Amino acid sequence: MTGRYAGARALVEPIVGHRPEPGALRSADAPAYKAWAIVQGALGRVVQAQQVYADARAAYEASGNALLGASMGMQELRHIALPYRTDALAERRALARRATDALSRAGGMSTSGDLPPAVATLPLLFLEGRWAEVRELAALRDLTETRGLAALRDLAGLWRGPWRGLLVGVAATLARARGEPDLAWAIVRAVLPAGPSTEPGGDDYR
């Protein structure tokens, strides 16, 4: 996040600087693989970053952990395919489909089942201008038209799980892009009521 890639590399390379064996990865290893791939991409090593994600995804899926396999696919889409592989349209759509399929096998993203596995495609849908689908998937479709901004309190409760930051980030960015700054700020305040005083946590709201 802060550009200290050399320091990040020194921390994670001893842990993930090798190809994982199928079934050998633990859930606790996922953040390190994500960080390693992001560092590789930020240093211009896109092919290496793709390999890290592919290896981790394959290892998790081989061990039966479809949820973390999906997570690796979604991270590759957000951090590598969309910013660095801008002309590879078929590749990024294949990543989105694979992540969606993995989330389906994992039972979706929320324990209540309110969020469909297709949320894996949100960054791609936003970039390709399919904003109506984004609003539908992020439960934003009727927010301002029917229940108003007060409904955001309930929506913030719906946006939970390992990709809460993805949902919030895409929803707020979409509101801003649609010329709805009040809605964008309301989304931010609904999930971060303490504003800049919020303690750092595990969510990524980019």
Mean pLDDT, the chain, rounded, equals: 77
pLDDT band at 97 (very low <50, low <70, confident <90, very high): very high
Determine the Cα–Cα distance for residues 120 and 186; give it in Å rounded to an integer: 23
pTM of the model: 0.74
Q: Which residue would you say has higher pLDDT here, 14 or 202? A: 14
Q: Show me where the domains of the chain are located.
A: 1-107, 109-206
